[in-house]
Structure 1
Amino acid sequence: MKKVNWKIEEQSHFLKRIGELLSRGYPLSEAIESVILHLPIEKKLQVNSILFDLKEGYPFYQALTTMEFNNYLIGYVFFAEQHGGLEKAFQEGSEMMLKRGSDVKKLKKLLVYPCFLIGLTAILFLFVEGVLLPRFSSLFTSMNLQENLFTKLIRMAGEYLPYLLITFMVISIFIGVFYLFHFKKLPHIKQASTLAAVPIAGPFFRLFYTHYFTIQLHYLLTGGLSVLSAFSLFEKNEKQPLYKEIGEEMKINLRNGEKFEEMLTRYHFFDRELFRVIKHGQNNGKLDQELYYFSKHCLRQLEERTDKALKIVQPVMYGLIGFLIVSMYLAVLLPMFHLLEGI
């Protein structure tokens, strides 16, 4: 069958509609059949082709793997099929991915126009530095006048700009090579720890990893599984190598008699509060509820931090553009005033 591309919004809405129908009492196959009616023809044919496998007893997450859905959405479905809370997991997973997609769209909208203005201003800068300033300099020389400080600064900026661009390109190439030949080969736990240590972006990664871990563990514990059994399922999650590795390590350490909450302190990509939340949940016998509320807390924190970052990005971008435009303006006017003083 011809490959069909699903945007992340389409994947999320697909699962969200299925979750809504499941909450109304629909069986999974009937819910999918109802959702198919509203799909474009190419997607309708693709989903119809996997319905037969579902009716034969194959798990839904494998069907989504065949359809090349997002790995985090597949992970939600994988865990949901283990604990039985399909409708709630489908809706919460899809809403989280829709929020993430919405934040990415906002960021693109915020950056497109400022980046265009920066590019246009950079072209004007090159024109001023390469065409206008040399002519002013020749006039200054012929009239025995000295260049003003601002003109000198613009000239210096023009001289160092190529070096800055070359440095940026070298750093970009180095990061790309580092990623392909070193970072990508590291264990996924080490990768997550490295990302969580990145300045500015690190807290976002920690909140995202913590939210996903706690909400899935909550569902499994609510479904009646023990902590050890829950990590056995984490271990079987082939589509998410990070959580698979966590499951493998946790399972071994639990069997060796280590305490659950103490093991979490080794994973620096989790929020520091998770240790206390789990310890408190084990003490009061409501670990599954504590995990649920903490996962909601992490999601709220992630949303608030994202909104705050987006509100900062735009003013900074426009401030930079304003500075560049004023610089161009002064680069032309100040030499003219200087020449008038020399006449």
Structure 2
Amino acid sequence: MTAKFLTKYFCNTNTDKWSVKDQNYFFSNLSDLLRMGFSIKNCLEFLQVVHPSDSKRYQEFVRKLSGGESFPKTLRPVISEDTYYQILIADQHGDLVDALGNLGNLNSMKTKQRKQILALLEYPMFLVGFLIVMMVGMKIFIAPELASMGGTDNSLTQKLFNFALVVMMVLFSIVGFIGFQKYHNYSLINRINVICRLPIIGKTYQTYCHYYFAFNLAYLIESGMTLGEICELLMEYNRNSIMFQIGKELKRRIWSGSNPNKFIKQNIFLPRELELFFQKGNEPKKLGQELRAFSNMKYQELVRRMESLIMLIQPILFGIVGIIIVGMYLSILLPMYGSMKEVTG
């Protein structure tokens, strides 16, 4: 799950989707051009000229727009579902230029952090590669010599060690399989709650969720929509999306007479501050502005948390390298120690 989050955050494994770098270029430039007074169609035609490597894709966008397709739907094949709904909500109920600018900033941060991660990985990965070569060399050249020096005790010790290793691997596999099955049977809402509780990455993912939902909710409320209308809108989205699931659950609670604030308390991926904002009873426009300011604060917190997460990469890798080195020394010294005991005994 950790790898899944990092993969989702930093890159896209689907070749039909735009890379983080491409999205950064597109959203940043499109936002700037729209602020200068260009129409969306004019922006795409301009980008087609200045970015010829993606000209066919821009041509396809222009063709779809000319055919009456909405701008968010035009982009949907090349962007993630999260990004699509962010653009859709801003296009229908908010400030599209502001939303595109925020997406450009977010993708710019991702690009910068990806470069940082690659730079931090260079030396540890070199050490890991060097250690793998050493381990292979030890297995081929040194292990046979140590085996010929050792006696029955060493052979029995090695067998017991191998047996214990196999038992541990089987136990870890069983626990992992049970955990995966349990996670797979959870609803999408519960899955996100689980990810938010994970060690190391959980708080960072939770902060991203807080930013994402506050950002989108700000536009919907600022446009004058009630909570019931927001639920109806979210129910029109993809059934497998988190936005649909939230709308469905909130609608159920409203119909049953339950307090929607309980839903916020029960799900840690939703910011608790939402409850306080709603209790203040401000007019929709002011409440939307407050939520937008709150989303900006969460964005800054997300940047700080990602920086801290990146700084953990090298210490963790060096710790793994240290464990490998200790294991290599033990694999050499323990058989030698056993042989020396036999000689002195």
Query: Aligned residue for 1:189?
Result: 189
User: Any conservation in 1 of the 2:28–2:101 contact (CA below 8 Å)?
Assistant: yes
Counterparts of 2:164 and 2:127 in 1: how far apart (Å)?
21
Q: CA shift at 1:88, angstroms?
A: 0.4
Is 1:214–2:224 an aligned residue pair?
no
Q: After superposition, what is the alpha-carbon deviation per residue over 1:12-57, rounded to whole angstroms, capped at 9, x for unaligned?
A: 321221111111221221122112222335x312321232331343
In the superposition, relative to structure 1, how do residues 77 and 113 fare at CA in structure 2: closer, same or farther (>3 Å)? same
- CA distance in structure 2 between the partners assigned to 1:328 and 1:269 by the alignment: 43
Q: Does 276-285 or 107-116 show the bigger shift? A: 276-285
Within 2, Cα distance between the matches of 1:8 and 1:286?
Answer: 33
RMSD value, Cα: 4.0
Question: 1:262 deviation in Å?
Answer: 4.0
2:239–2:245: 8 Å Cα contact kept in structure 1?
Answer: no
Within a 5 Å distance, the mapping from 1:185-334 to structure 2 comes to 186-238=186-238, 241-254=241-254, 258-280=258-280, 282=282, 286-325=286-325, 328=328
- 33 and 94 in structure 1: CA distance in 2 versus 1, 3 angstrom threshold: same
- Number of the residue aligned with 2:20: 8
Determine the structure 1 residue equivalent to 2:65. Answer: 54
Q: Does 1:30 align with 2:26?
A: no
CA contact (8 A) 1:61 1:74 kept: yes
Q: Distance in 1 between matches of 2:79 and 2:34?
A: 20
Q: SS at 1:270's partner residue?
A: coil
Task: Quickly say closer, same or farther: Cα 1:141–1:28, change in 2 above 3 A.
Answer: closer
1:100 is matched with which residue? 110
2:88 maps to 1:78: yes
Query: Could you state the TM-score of these two structures normalised by the residue count of structure 2?
Result: 0.76
Deviation track 1:212-244 (CA, whole Å, cap 9, x = no partner) reads: 111011122223333333333222232861111
> 1:76–1:89: 8 Å Cα contact kept in structure 2?
yes
TM-score (normalizing by structure 1) = 0.76
Q: How far apart, in 1, do the equivalents of 2:150 and 2:266 lie?
A: 66
Q: What SS is found at the alignment partner of 2:50?
A: coil
Cα pair 1:75 1:240 within 8 Å, conserved: no
Given the alignment, which residue of 68, 73, 83 partners 2:78? Answer: 68
| Deviation, structure 1 residue 83 | 1.6
- Distance in 1 between residues matched to 2:326 and 2:250, nearest whole Å: 58
SS of 2:224 mapped into structure 1: coil
Letter in 1 for 2:69: Y
The one-letter code of the counterpart of 1:59 is S
Range that drifts further, 121-130 or 48-57? 121-130
> Structure 1: how far apart are the matches of 2:16 and 2:241?
25
- Counterpart AA for 1:22: L
Output the CA distance in 2 between the equivalents of 1:69 and 1:166.
40
Structure 1 spans left out of the alignment, 5+ residues: none
Change (3 A) 1:121 1:187: same
Preserved CA contact (<8 Å) 2:228 2:251 = yes
Q: Aligned partner of 1:39: which letter? A: H
**1:269-320 per-position Cα deviation (integer Å, ceiling 9, x unaligned):** 2234443344346499832232122212222222222211221220221133
CA distance in 2, matches of 1:197, 1:279: 27
Shift of 1:163: 5.2
1:194 Cα deviation from its structure 2 partner: 2.7
Task: Give deviations 1:248-282, integer Å, cap 9, x for gaps.
Answer: 33234345555543442232322344433443464
Within-5 A mapping of 1:65-214: 65=76, 67-111=77-121, 113-115=123-125, 117-118=127-128, 120-122=130-132, 124-125=134-135, 128=138, 132=142, 135-136=145-146, 139=149, 160-161=164-165, 178=181, 183=184, 186-214=186-214
Q: Which runs of 5+ in 2 are unaligned?
A: 1-14
